[in-house]
C-alpha cells in the first residue's frame, strides 16, 4: 500500500535561514504523482507543486525548490531565505494512477515556524 512519511513533526528556524522539509514515499506503482501543500492558520490547503514519477528534474519557484529522487523515494522541499509568512503546516502527498478513484495519501505534515 502507498504511504507517505514526513519524519519532521515540527521545525523552528529564524527568519532568513534556509530550511528543508523531508518527504519519503512508498508505492508499488511505476506511475504516480507527488504533491506539496501548505496549510496556513486559516486552514485551507494551498497547492504548491505537482511532480510526476517520470520527471526527476528539480524545480525552483522563487524561494521554493523541490528535489525529487526516485532512487531514494524522496521528494524534499527547501525554502531559501525563509520568511515569517512561510509559517504553516506543510503536507507531502502521493497520488497513484489506478483505475477508478484518485486518492491523495498524505503524510502527517511538518509544522514550520519561522521566528522573526
Query: What are the residues whose beta carbons fall under 8 Å from the beta carbon of 39, sequence distance 6 or more?
Result: 45, 46, 88, 89, 90, 91, 109
Instruction: Decide: 115 and 14 in contact? Cβ < 8 Å.
Output: yes
Minimum gap (Å) between residue 82 Cβ and other proteins: 24
* Candidates 10-18, 63-71, 79-87, 107-115; binding stretch for other proteins (CB under 8 A): 107-115
Q: Which of 37, 68, 77, 90 binds other proteins (CB under 8 A)?
A: 37
Q: Which of 8, 33, 65, 78 binds other proteins (CB under 8 A)?
A: 33
Residue 24, interface with other proteins (CB under 8 A)?
no
Instruction: Output DSSP code: residue 35.
Output: E
Q: 74-79 and 64-69 as β-strands: parallel, antiparallel, unpaired?
A: antiparallel
Minimum gap (Å) between residue 79 Cβ and other proteins: 21
Which cell is 47 given? Answer: 497547492
Residue 98, interface with other proteins (CB under 8 A)?
yes
Residue 45, interface with other proteins (CB under 8 A)?
yes
Give the integer Cα–Cα distance in Å for 47 and 52: 15
Minimum gap (Å) between residue 7 Cβ and other proteins: 14
Query: What are the residues whose beta carbons fall under 8 Å from the beta carbon of 17, sequence distance 6 or more?
Result: 81, 82
- Interface ranges with other proteins (CB under 8 A): 32-33, 35, 37, 42-47, 50, 52, 91, 95-98, 100-109
Amino acid at each position: 500500500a502507498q504511504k507517505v512519511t514526513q519524519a519532521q513533526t515540527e521545525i523552528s528556524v529564524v527568519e532568513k535561514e534556509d530550511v528543508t522539509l523531508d518527504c519519503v514515499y512508498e508505492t508499488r506503482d511505476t506511475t504516480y504523482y507527488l504533491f506539496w501543500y501548505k496549510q496556513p492558520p486559516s486552514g485551507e490547503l494551498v497547492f504548491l507543486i505537482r511532480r510526476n514519477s517520470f520527471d526527476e528534474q528539480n524545480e525552483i519557484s522563487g524561494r521554493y525548490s523541490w528535489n525529487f529522487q526516485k532512487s531514494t523515494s524522496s521528494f524534499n522541499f527547501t525554502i531559501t531565505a525563509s520568511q515569517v509568512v512561510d509559517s504553516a503546516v506543510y503536507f507531502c502527498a502521493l497520488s497513484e494512477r489506478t483505475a477508478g478513484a484518485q486518492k491523495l495519501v498524505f503524510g502527517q505534515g511538518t509544522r514550520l515556524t519561522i521566528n522573526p
